[in-house]
Amino acid sequence: MPECTHIAVLPLESDLDVRSVPVVKAQIERLIARGCRRIILNMSNASYIDSFGMGMLFAEIRHMRSSGGLLSLIGVSPEVYRSLKILRLVDAMPISTVDSRVDVPELPIDQRPLWRTTFSVRPDGLSEARDRIAELVSRLGLNADEVFDIKLAAGEALGNAIDHTCAKGVLASVAAYTDRAVVEVSDCGDGFSPADVRAPDPASERGRGIALMRLLADAVTIAPKSSGTGMVVRIVKLTH
């Protein structure tokens, strides 16, 4: 069984104000107690945040950091972002606004990486592999939070490869380009069609790996290997 990378996406159902803060705080605290190291708060349904919400976020940021984890916000509206900026919360945590997703340009077909490192991953070596990937991408000018996210995204890909394939043919590689870091995880399993992947059942404990990888990285592609059996998961993080 693969090791858990402890990532959770928590959707807000309303504004983050004096009425909703106790519920959201309790949910975050339960996730931390269960060992979550990366909590992503989806603010798509929030058009307002008051001082109670700001205070809760400050407290939970400190709690997560002290536990070796990271709290971030996605789907933040322009109005909420302005409020977060006034109190400098934008400097304390990763925040993605509703229009902040960037298009990742394709690399020219003949462009070679500045360097590439490839290594095999043992079924009992997931932690070692994640740490090695984090060390390699940290050389590329990414900040600590970005390295943290790529480590978790790669951990999801590695865990899926070990869990769903032959487990003995998993390879990981990290490549550096002038504008991006690229992590690839390949396996020798039977493969699958990415088009067949559906959104997970809310009650299910499985099936969230691909969605989480796409939240954590700038681009994720999944395709059959160019030769032999198996799949390649490609995770891209822009560095400029």
Residue 227: per-residue pLDDT: 77
What are the phi and psi torsion angles at 48 (to 5°)? -155, 145
> Would you write out the chain's pLDDT as a tens digit for each of its 240 residues?
333 447 889 999 999 999 999 999 999 999 999 989 899 999 999 999 999 999 999 999 999 999 889 999 999 999 999 999 988 888 888 998 877 667 888 888 889 999 999 999 988 899 999 999 999 999 998 999 999 999 999 999 998 888 776 556 799 999 999 999 999 999 887 655 555 555 444 444 444 578 888 888 999 999 888 777 788 999 999 997
Query: The whole model's pTM is what?
Result: 0.76
Residue 210: per-residue pLDDT: 80
Residue 100: per-residue pLDDT: 66
Looking at domain 7-97, its CATH class is: alpha beta
Q: Where in the chain is the domain with CATH 3.30.565.10?
A: 115-238
Contacts of 223 (CB under 8 A, 6+ apart): 194, 231, 232, 234
Angle at 8 between CA 7 and CA 14, to 5 degrees: 155
Please state, as a whole number, how many other Cβ atoms lie within 10 Å of the Cβ of residue 130.
Answer: 22
Residue 215: per-residue pLDDT: 85
Q: Where in the chain is the domain with CATH 3.30.750.24?
A: 7-97
The helix or strand, by DSSP H or E, that contains position 233, with its residue range, turns out to be strand 231-238
* 41 closest CA partner among 4, 85, 80, 82: 80
- DSSP H helical ranges for 142-238: 144-164, 209-216
Cβ atoms 180, 236 nearer than 8 A: yes
| CA dist., res. 13 & res. 10, Å (int) | 10
Cβ atoms 104, 179 nearer than 8 A: no
| CA dist., res. 219 & res. 200, Å (int) | 20
Contacts of 199 (CB under 8 A, 6+ apart): 211
- Helical pair 126-137 and 144-164, crossing angle rounded to 10 deg: 150
DSSP annotation of 196: G
Residue 109: per-residue pLDDT: 84
Residue 206: per-residue pLDDT: 44
Residue 166: per-residue pLDDT: 59
Looking at domain 115-238, its CATH class is: alpha beta
Contacts of 41 (CB under 8 A, 6+ apart): 10, 12, 24, 28, 71, 72, 73, 74
Contacts of 33 (CB under 8 A, 6+ apart): none
